[in-house]
Chain A
């Protein structure tokens, strides 16, 4: 296990402004560094480390040290590692978690051990709904919040019929159900849907042909990672774009791999809590810093979630003034402008309240860029049965 320490040098002027008391904090990072989600784990950790560097100055004379371990995206192994971090490494806060299944497995342990967990990816609606906990704070997104905004917007563009397609697992169904509810409420009609298996051959040919034959105006989808790359390419090869426009949760054309999709991504419209082309000083600082630190790579929405998780933790530490009990409460009172825009934590669910961006991918000169078509501000989940 690697240990990294970020020590913030305290300037005399800042010392005077801050409460005199300070404490040493230990952060446990739990991310998949092997297995299917290894790529995402690396993005989130890169973002987190950059965030500690960028905001470390706000720590005053508190210190932060980091321990990290690999969840292997395996619920059982993750629980054992979380227990070790809390019981033997004595971490003050856990962060990370890509897979919703891992989050589900950790929930009862962090709840009963009263260890704060700052979630930087896993989008399962339940985690800030029926299975919410005062100790779980999510800075990434909830599945339903991503696609819920697309229903009314697409209806307003004159789209009357849509076909749904997503992998057959919890996230796929949550994303599609949220879209269905708002699209139908806005007068739209779902004319068909298909849920290909999550694992196995990535041949979407029969499904795409079927969606085309349905006569729908729009194809609303959620695919991520390798499946998203294959799906977008096959959609293009089947010449489906002419009659059936492609829409999706923004992971379909994530900044992490849209360059591989290239021309095939042209024209796809999607919604997400972050796009790399947001024109704010906060985003410019993040993207410039990310490029400088990580071989000129583009910072993805996954990296932003890690970056903001670090920012939330740093701000809570600064506000707690050395009081570790207060730190746990402060995590949920944080608000700031991050790379993705204004961000705060919902006191009722501890889910993030943030902007959603509806954007079109545009391919020109061998590069894909994202043009923001609409910004839906302050998207907040309903309480969904959460009792704090």
Chain B
């Protein structure tokens, strides 16, 4: 098996696909984290919300493409409500109240999802793009998973340009580097934070909408993916776009090959990777602050 190239090809693609979902989730989290030292544990619930809203949109409008376009907007709107009602007040409250409140939000959002969508796993029945199988060499592979990988790379490219070529990007980089100095130089750090928060929510919603046709949507599906996402943020380095990308690749591969090669230890392997990185690079692989 280990000498079989198709094993490495297929499981490599599986790990890349998982990595791209983790990237879409962790990138918003890490920049919020790095910019304002704010940890939003309910980020995974926004992923579930994206999948469920995406499901409803796809069923109502008959096309999953609408779900990709509108679910991120809807989730960002929910994010805006959360920001104005809760998160803004918590900004100066210190880490413990932030963790407690956003942890509580996980349960509130999960029960709200159960109330609105029920508890069954929901899968779209209509037309899904790329629903067939592609042959890579002789090996069949689901085309949709390649699409997920492509979405991940496209978002990485877009964010790279946003961060390095736009004024907002410069403000974000300045804010992550030294928020006080940036504010003194006339950057509206609060506004930047709000925009970044909304973008993070939208990306979590996009991840949910993109995952939904392949893995179905279910209330509470965000809880399971939260832990790997947090591990990615820590491994990659707080506040770093490239860090989130590299961290996602590391954790995607660890989980997938762990599942394939040592099924009983796949969960442990992720934490082993986390410990190894923290021992040798305490600030993560590619920290935003030098």
> Which A positions have Cβ atoms within 8 angstroms of B?
34-36, 38-39, 194-195, 199-203, 205-207, 209-210, 212-214, 225-227, 229-230, 233-234, 237-239, 242, 260
Kindly list chain B residues whose C-beta atoms are within 8 Å of the C-beta of A234.
142, 214
Kindly list chain A residues whose C-beta atoms are within 8 Å of the C-beta of B4.
213
Taking a contact as CB atoms under 8 Å apart, the answer to whether A229 and B224 are in contact is no
Taking a contact as CB atoms under 8 Å apart, the answer to whether B121 and A38 are in contact is no
Query: Is B242 in the interface zone, CB < 8 Å from A?
Result: no
Taking a contact as CB atoms under 8 Å apart, the answer to whether A203 and B260 are in contact is no
Q: Which 5 pairs between the two chains have the least Cβ-Cβ distance?
A: A226-B121, A239-B140, A200-B224, A237-B142, A206-B259
CA distance in complex: A206, B216 (Å):
17
From the candidates B123, B142, B211, B263, name the one contacting A229 in the complex (CB within 8 A). B123
Query: Is B45 in the interface zone, CB < 8 Å from A?
Result: no
Minimum C-beta distance from B131 to chain A (A): 8
Query: Is B127 in the interface zone, CB < 8 Å from A?
Result: no
Interface residues of B in 182-229 (CB under 8 A from A): 211, 214-216, 218, 221, 224-225
Dominant secondary structure at the B interface:
helix
Query: Is B118 in the interface zone, CB < 8 Å from A?
Result: yes
Taking a contact as CB atoms under 8 Å apart, the answer to whether A238 and B119 are in contact is no
Kindly list chain B residues whose C-beta atoms are within 8 Å of the C-beta of A38.
118-120
Kindly list chain A residues whose C-beta atoms are within 8 Å of the C-beta of B14.
205-206, 209
Q: Mark B1-31, 1 if CB is under 8 A from A, else 0.
A: 1001011001100110110000000000000
Taking a contact as CB atoms under 8 Å apart, the answer to whether A239 and B1 are in contact is no
CA distance in complex: A7, B146 (Å):
60
Query: Is B144 in the interface zone, CB < 8 Å from A?
Result: yes
CA distance in complex: A38, B14 (Å):
33
Q: A209-B11, A260-B125 are in contact. Are A202 and B215 (CB under 8 A)?
A: yes
Taking a contact as CB atoms under 8 Å apart, the answer to whether B215 and A34 are in contact is no
Kindly list chain A residues whose C-beta atoms are within 8 Å of the C-beta of B33.
none
Taking a contact as CB atoms under 8 Å apart, the answer to whether A230 and B256 are in contact is no
Taking a contact as CB atoms under 8 Å apart, the answer to whether B133 and A230 are in contact is no
Kindly list chain A residues whose C-beta atoms are within 8 Å of the C-beta of B153.
none
CA distance in complex: A39, B141 (Å):
33
Taking a contact as CB atoms under 8 Å apart, the answer to whether B7 and A209 are in contact is yes
From the candidates B11, B121, B221, B260, name the one contacting A227 in the complex (CB within 8 A). B121
Other than A38-B118, A203-B215, A237-B131, give 8 A-B pairs with Cβ distance below 8 A: A201-B224, A203-B18, A206-B11, A210-B259, A210-B260, A230-B215, A234-B142, A238-B10
From the candidates B118, B123, B221, name the one contacting A233 in the complex (CB within 8 A). B123
Minimum C-beta distance from A295 to chain B (A): 17
Taking a contact as CB atoms under 8 Å apart, the answer to whether A230 and B121 are in contact is yes
Kindly list chain A residues whose C-beta atoms are within 8 Å of the C-beta of B125.
260
13 example contacts (A-B, Cβ-Cβ < 8 A) are as follows A36-B119, A38-B119, A199-B224, A201-B211, A203-B18, A205-B145, A207-B259, A210-B11, A226-B121, A230-B123, A239-B140, A242-B140, A260-B123
The size of the chain B interface, using a CB distance under 8 A, is: 37
From the candidates A194, A202, A237, name the one contacting B263 in the complex (CB within 8 A). A194
CA distance in complex: A237, B146 (Å):
12
Kindly list chain A residues whose C-beta atoms are within 8 Å of the C-beta of B263.
194-195, 210
Kindly list chain B residues whose C-beta atoms are within 8 Å of the C-beta of A233.
123
CA distance in complex: A20, B259 (Å):
67
Q: A234-B142, A239-B140 are in contact. Are A209 and B120 (CB under 8 A)?
A: no
CA distance in complex: A207, B158 (Å):
32
Kindly list chain B residues whose C-beta atoms are within 8 Å of the C-beta of A194.
259, 263
From the candidates B131, B140, B221, name the one contacting A201 in the complex (CB within 8 A). B221
From the candidates B1, B121, B216, B221, name the one contacting A214 in the complex (CB within 8 A). B1
CA distance in complex: A67, B17 (Å):
50
Taking a contact as CB atoms under 8 Å apart, the answer to whether B119 and A35 are in contact is yes
Q: Mark B125-150, 1 if CB is under 8 A from A, else 0.
A: 10000010101000011101100000
Taking a contact as CB atoms under 8 Å apart, the answer to whether B10 and A230 are in contact is no
Taking a contact as CB atoms under 8 Å apart, the answer to whether B145 and A206 are in contact is no
From the candidates B1, B119, B135, name the one contacting A213 in the complex (CB within 8 A). B1
From the candidates A202, A214, A225, A239, name the one contacting B120 in the complex (CB within 8 A). A225
Kindly list chain A residues whose C-beta atoms are within 8 Å of the C-beta of B211.
201
Kindly list chain A residues whose C-beta atoms are within 8 Å of the C-beta of B260.
206, 209-210
Kindly list chain B residues whose C-beta atoms are within 8 Å of the C-beta of A200.
221, 224-225
A262 nearest in chain B by CB position: B125
> Which interface residue of B1, B17, B121 has the most chain A CB atoms within 10 A?
B121
CA distance in complex: A342, B211 (Å):
45
CA distance in complex: A201, B217 (Å):
9
Taking a contact as CB atoms under 8 Å apart, the answer to whether B216 and A226 are in contact is yes
CA distance in complex: A238, B44 (Å):
27
CA distance in complex: A200, B224 (Å):
5
Minimum C-beta distance from A345 to chain B (A): 32
Taking a contact as CB atoms under 8 Å apart, the answer to whether A229 and B121 are in contact is yes
Kindly list chain B residues whose C-beta atoms are within 8 Å of the C-beta of A225.
120-121
CA distance in complex: A280, B125 (Å):
33
Minimum C-beta distance from A14 to chain B (A): 43
Kindly list chain B residues whose C-beta atoms are within 8 Å of the C-beta of A201.
211, 215, 221, 224-225
CA distance in complex: A234, B145 (Å):
10
A194 nearest in chain B by CB position: B263
B259 nearest in chain A by CB position: A206
Minimum C-beta distance from A113 to chain B (A): 31
Q: A203-B18, A210-B260 are in contact. Are A238 and B141 (CB under 8 A)?
A: yes
Taking a contact as CB atoms under 8 Å apart, the answer to whether A202 and B121 are in contact is yes
Kindly list chain B residues whose C-beta atoms are within 8 Å of the C-beta of A205.
14, 17, 142, 145, 256
Kindly list chain A residues whose C-beta atoms are within 8 Å of the C-beta of B259.
194, 206-207, 210
Minimum C-beta distance from A168 to chain B (A): 10
Q: Mark B93-124, 1 if CB is under 8 A from A, else 0.
A: 00000000000000000000000001111110
Kindly list chain B residues whose C-beta atoms are within 8 Å of the C-beta of A214.
1
